[in-house]
């Protein structure tokens, strides 16, 4: 499959959406129109699933939570990500399966082999070419996210959960250093955007 698949990962308030928007601008600057999407969501079905997942009124166990994320992901891969990559386009996704491994695995304690095996089915084995992990301590991240307004269901989880999530992301990055670029998300957005652009350019050069 052609194209280039880039994902942004990291905990609440790390700056994923901010950096994604900057990257889209940088790509536009060199004449590349990227397909931008997010998880959960990105399709009409996924958007409905997202509402359920982020609803602070709802309680859910770890397995059904994971299965809902997986349902949204399966639809997104088939309807949006795979077709765009087959057209040779650049696809940028705000979160992808690494978030499930970090949140439902490291965070909630579901066994990684189970998550990985379902994820392989759900994605058809589609992995990002590049994953930008924005690493931030959860206290700072939750403070940033709180400035945005009412916390969603995940933002309400306790601090130790968010600390396990952060560690989970770092462990994933250590296992696949060639796919991950880990950036310190405490830096000013401009500096991080430059680091993101450098990582992306390394993948663009052979293509464009």
Ligand X SMILES: Nc1ncnc2c1ncn2[C@@H]1O[C@H](COP(=O)(O)OP(=O)(O)OP(=O)(O)O)[C@@H](O)[C@H]1O
Give binding residues as ranges: 10-17
Q: Is 147 in the site for ligand X (CB under 6 A)?
A: yes
Q: Which of 148, 101, 151 is nearest to 128 (CA)?
A: 101
Give whichever of 65 and 94 is closer to Mg ion, judged by the CB atom: 94
Site for Mg ion in 16-55 (CB under 5 A): 16-17
Q: Is 7 helix (H, G, I), strand (E, B) or coil?
A: strand
**CA distances for 146 relative to 34, 135, 138, 151, 190, angstroms:** 29, 18, 12, 6, 22
Choose, by CB under 6 A, the member of 192, 197, 199, 200 that binds ligand X: 192
- Smallest gap, in angstroms, from Cβ of residue 2 to ligand X? 28
Segment contacting ligand X (CB under 6 A): 66-74, 107-115, 167-175, 184-192? Answer: 184-192
**Structure-token pair, residue 53:** 């997942």
- Smallest gap, in angstroms, from Cβ of residue 18 to Mg ion? 8
* Radius of gyration, CA atoms only, the chain: 16
For the CA atoms of 54, 74, 108, 112, the dihedral, rounded to the nearest 10 degrees, stands at: -170
Site for ligand X in 2-31 (CB under 6 A): 10, 12-18
Q: Is 194 in the site for Mg ion (CB under 5 A)?
A: no
Give whichever of 41 and 105 is closer to ligand X, judged by the CB atom: 41
Annotated binding-site residues for ATP read: 10-17
CB-neighbour burial class of residue 117 (10 A; exposed 0-12, middle 13-18, buried 19+)? exposed
Question: What residues contact 207, with CB distance under 8 A and at least 6 apart?
Answer: 4
Q: For binding to ligand X (CB under 6 A), which residues are involved? A: 10, 12-18, 144-145, 147-148, 187-189, 192
Q: For binding to Mg ion (CB under 5 A), which residues are involved? A: 16-17
């Amino acid at each position: 499959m052609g194209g280039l698949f880039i994902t942004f990962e990291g905990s609440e308030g790390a700056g994923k959406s901010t950096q994604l928007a900057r990257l889209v601008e940088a790509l536009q600057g060199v004449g590349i129109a990227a397909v931008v999407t997010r998880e959960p969501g990105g399709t009409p079905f996924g958007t409905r699933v997202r509402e359920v997942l982020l609803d602070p009124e709802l309680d859910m166990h770890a397995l059904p939570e994971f299965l809902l994320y997986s349902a949204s992901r399966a639809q997104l891969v088939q309807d949006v990500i795979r077709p765009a990559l087959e057209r040779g386009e650049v696809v940028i996704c705000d979160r992808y399966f690494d978030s499930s491994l970090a949140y439902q695995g490291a965070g909630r304690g579901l066994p990684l082999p189970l998550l990985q095996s379902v994820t392989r089915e759900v994605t058809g084995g589609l992995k990002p070419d590049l994953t930008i992990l924005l690493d931030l301590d959860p206290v700072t991240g939750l403070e940033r996210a709180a400035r945005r307004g009412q916390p969603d269901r995940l933002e309400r989880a306790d601090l130790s959960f968010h600390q396990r999530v952060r560690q989970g992301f770092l462990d994933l990055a250590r296992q696949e250093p060639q796919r991950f670029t880990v950036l310190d998300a405490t830096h000013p957005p401009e500096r991080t955007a430059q680091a993101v652009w450098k990582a992306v350019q390394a993948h663009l050069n052979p293509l464009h």
